[in-house]
Amino acid sequence: MNEEENLIKEVNEEIQQDDYKKLWNKYGKYLISLFIIIILTVSSGTIYKNYRISKIEKESILYFEALELIKNENFVDAQKILKRINDSKSSGYSMLSALQILDLENKGKNEFNSKNLNIDKNPFFENYYILQKFSQNLEKNKDDISINKIINISQPGSPWRFSAHELLAAYYLKKNDLNNAIQSLNTIIEDDEVPIFAKERAILLFESLKK
């Protein structure tokens, strides 16, 4: 009985081996190709990841170099570095550089045309840029940005609504539109989430307009 069982076992093993050979002969080249693809994909991902990390590190060094130049009032060279980082559009430093250039422009430190900046389509950064640009335009009496964009940013739920309402109040005051200016200030005062310093500014201006 044991001999019969051993014989059956041996026959089954031979059949299985024969089946494996057939399967390998039929699909072996595909499995090899699949393994090669997996290895190449993993390797490429690692190489790209290391490349990205290296590029971000270099842009970080350049960005802080630009800040040091600004500190030393070398605005021309700082602007060149910041624009180069902004043109790369490869990391968050691109957007930071755009905002830094705009800040220099707002302070009258250069004549850079901010229309050439690459702005992240992330609404948070894009809206901040719009507010900064609108603030600059108010000082220079320009109308490059539609007031409707600022009104949209001032809507409830917007993280920049307080700044937007402050700019709206300033805009309306320049237009001698006291009612809308007071309405924007009142919106700031009544918002429980507004930072205390912004609320205090709004209250002071609101009270002076009421007089």
Query: What integer pLDDT is reported at residue 86 of this predicted model?
Result: 82
Query: What integer pLDDT is reported at residue 17 of this predicted model?
Result: 60
Query: What integer pLDDT is reported at residue 185 of this predicted model?
Result: 92
Query: What integer pLDDT is reported at residue 168 of this predicted model?
Result: 93
Asked whether the beta carbons of 93 and 64 are under 8 A apart, the reply is: no
pTM: 0.54
Which parts of the chain register pLDDT below 70?
Answer: 1-52, 90-91, 109-115, 119-122, 142-145, 211
Query: What integer pLDDT is reported at residue 94 of this predicted model?
Result: 80
Query: What integer pLDDT is reported at residue 47 of this predicted model?
Result: 65
